[in-house]
Chain A
Amino acid sequence: GAVVSQHPSRVICKSGTSVKIECRSLDFQATTMFWYRQFPKQSLMLMATSNEGSKATYEQGVEKDKFLINHASLTLSTLTVTSAHPEDSSFYICSAGQGGGAFFGQGTRLTVV
């Protein structure tokens, strides 16, 4: 299947700082990528749809100024968690579609201390 790579896999940051997470489609181009958040022992919740060359579409209740998304190329989308707080600690995971399948990155475990 298609490969989606996410970086970093794990990050610890201080409260008030910003963290950038990268999502790359390695062997295909993706005009659309998706960012999800997963709390421990829970399912995935869609945060936003990242659109290449245009603004991201955010789900209801997700602060767009808090979670900045940039999709500057057909193979890269970034999620920046700005002014992170402990409640932002979570598992963030991206996906991109190819040939009917939806493929996920490895996920990023963010811990804000």
Chain B
Amino acid sequence: GEDVEQSLFLSVREGDSSVINCTYTDSSSTYLYWYKQEPGAGLQLLTYIFSNMDMKQDQRLTVLLNKKDKHLSLRIADTQTGDSAIYFCAETYNQGGKLIFGQGTELSVKP
């Protein structure tokens, strides 16, 4: 079945870059998403990438997709303390449809 894997924790210093990694198994995935969840809150869509793209950049965020290895990464440049949260990657074969989520990576940014 479909599976999405993430490392559980990442700790960086303020100002450094953060790279959160994700692997997935479903080769029919067409959309891959990154969400941010702060404590007690819902999910905020950060960015998404279509499977025929290799890279997408949006301000401090860069998404890299290696479809051959089924590997997705999210790079946050100049990480701030406000970036501390749990980051989920998710995939779907149907745009805007039901998502399969990874376990979430807890990002801790130290001043």
Give chain A's interface residues, CB within 8 Å of chain B.
Answer: 1, 6, 32, 34, 42-44, 46, 49, 93, 95-107, 109
Chain A contacts for B40, CB-based, 8 A: 109
Total B residues in contact with A, Cβ cutoff 8 Å = 24
Complex interface: chain B residues within 8 A of A44 (CB): 43, 88, 99, 101
Q: Is the CB of A100 within 8 A of B103?
A: no
Interfacial chain B residues near A46, Cβ < 8 Å: 98-100
Report Cα–Cα, A104/B99, bound state, in Å: 11
Binding site for A on B (CB under 8 A): 31, 33, 35, 40-45, 48, 50, 88, 90, 92, 95-104
Taking CB atoms, residues of chain A closer than 8 Å to B102 are 43
Contact of A93 among B31, B42, B98, B100 (CB under 8 A): B42
Known: A44-B88, A100-B31, A102-B33. A107 touches B41 (CB 8 A): yes
A43–B96 CB distance below 8 A:
no
Complex contact B95–A100 (CB within 8 A): yes
Complex interface: chain B residues within 8 A of A109 (CB): 40
Cross-chain contact B42 with A97 (CB below 8 angstroms)? no
Cβ-defined contact, A102 with B45, below 8 A: yes
Q: Known interface pairs A43-B101, A44-B88, A109-B40. Does A104 touch B96 (Cβ–Cβ under 8 Å)? A: no
Q: Could you tell me the distance between the alpha carbons of A93 and B102 in the complex, rounded to whole angstroms?
A: 16
Complex interface: chain B residues within 8 A of A95 (CB): 43, 99
Across the interface, which residues of B come within 8 angstroms of A42, CB to CB? 103-104
A-B contact pairs, 28 of them (CB 8 A): A6-B42, A32-B96, A32-B97, A34-B99, A42-B103, A43-B104, A44-B43, A44-B88, A46-B98, A46-B99, A49-B98, A95-B99, A97-B97, A99-B96, A100-B48, A100-B50, A100-B95, A102-B33, A102-B90, A102-B92, A102-B96, A104-B42, A104-B43, A104-B45, A106-B41, A106-B42, A107-B43, A109-B40
